[in-house]
Amino acid sequence: MKKVIVKVPHRISGFFEIVDEINGIKIKNPENIGSRGAGFNLNSFGTTEIHLKELDDKFEPNCQIYINNEELNEKAETSNYILKYCLKDLDYSYDIQVFHNFDLPVGCGFGASGCGALGCIYGLNYLLNLGLSPFEKGKLAHIAEVVNRTGLGTVCGQLGGGLSILLEPGYPCSCKPVKVPDEVIVVCGSYGAIHTKSILNDPQLNKNIKVAGKKALISLIKEPNLQKFVKISHQFVLDSNILSILNLSEIRQLLSDVNKLDIIGASMNQLGRSIFIFCNKDSEKEVHEVLNSYKPHLKTFISSINQNKSFFMITK
């Protein structure tokens, strides 16, 4: 049996503009669908471990996909899409198990689906000797997210590294890096999941996000720095009216309390019932005091911005 482990950084999007049509006409090619916006990679990871065993031809092929130890198989739509693509031309029977485990919660705006998509394609490319280039692997991961409506620009951001601006939608990616001081701490709080698919299917919120996201991108390009990013991200939340449309009163109150502190700033993860906070060591204690007042319903996490572009691949 062969094994491979791939670690991909979680990513948080601060704001985004959905790009799924041109001049009112829907884009049909998923490669060209995506988003403009900005976000950042974390030193917290989605780890994908894949086991491959070749079987005698008398046995039927078998695939299993697990997310945080729960067997989901076809319900893990993005990974299942990539598996089917990679296995379609194999000329032997096989048993494949894919194990996704995440440092941060799934469906809560931490880019878990992008971690899984990239981990899956990078791992399968190695185990199956597919010979895909980095460009081809990134493209397949992006398409898998778009087709299954689990993400629009997360993969491109994860490939870009650090805090970056997505200048154009779709694939290939067009990313502009933004410098971040090394001492910046990222503290996150989460109440749970928002299903990206349901958000992307809401006509009013979809329209609001397009308008607010376009405005936010123009502002950040003029002044590309960390302070502006978090300020613009919070303004995007207000302009899109996402808190009211999704009845996220707890996020509204939490952001209000946190932003009263002497911090760089805080905003809502796109998309999740979660917030991210940029602060320095001097203000970290105050941040935790506020977040602790919202427990046990709120789960908290500490991380930092991951500036690397490369993934960690461990072969066994």
**pLDDT tens figures, 102-144:** 999 999 999 999 999 999 999 999 999 999 999 999 999 999 9
| pLDDT for the residue numbered 154 | 93
Poorest-pLDDT segment among 75-79, 196-200, 226-230, 298-302: 196-200
| pLDDT for the residue numbered 54 | 85
Q: How confident is the model at residue 47 (pLDDT cuts 50, 70, 90)?
A: very high
| pLDDT for the residue numbered 309 | 78
- Domain 178-303 CATH superfamily: GHMP kinase, C-terminal domain (3.30.70.890)
Fold observed for domain 2-177+308-315: Ribosomal Protein S5; domain 2 (3.30.230)
Mean pLDDT to the nearest integer, 166-183:
94
Give yes or no for a contact between 191 and 105, defined as CB atoms under 8 angstroms apart: no
Q: Does 3 have pLDDT greater than 80?
A: yes
**pLDDT tens figures, 213-233:** 999 999 999 999 999 999 999
Residue whose structure tokens are 């720095």: 225
| pLDDT for the residue numbered 195 | 75
Give yes or no for a contact between 255 and 266, defined as CB atoms under 8 angstroms apart: yes
| pLDDT for the residue numbered 27 | 94
CATH 3.30.70.890 domain span(s) along the chain: 178-303
**pLDDT tens figures, 247-256:** 999 999 999 9
CATH 3.30.230.10 domain span(s) along the chain: 2-177+308-315
- Rounded to whole angstroms, how far apart are CA atoms 177 and 156? 12
| pLDDT for the residue numbered 147 | 95
* DSSP letter string, 97-116: EEEEEESS-TTSSS-HHHHH
Mean pLDDT to the nearest integer, 166-179:
94
**pLDDT tens figures, 50-91:** 999 988 777 788 899 999 999 999 999 999 999 999 998 888
| pLDDT for the residue numbered 99 | 98
Nearest Cα to Cα of residue 245 among 214, 216, 271: 271
Percent above pLDDT 70 for the chain: 98
> In sequence order, which residues have a C-beta less than 8 Å from that of residue 205 and are 6 or more positions away?
199, 240, 241, 242, 245, 246
Q: Does 180 have pLDDT greater than 80?
A: yes
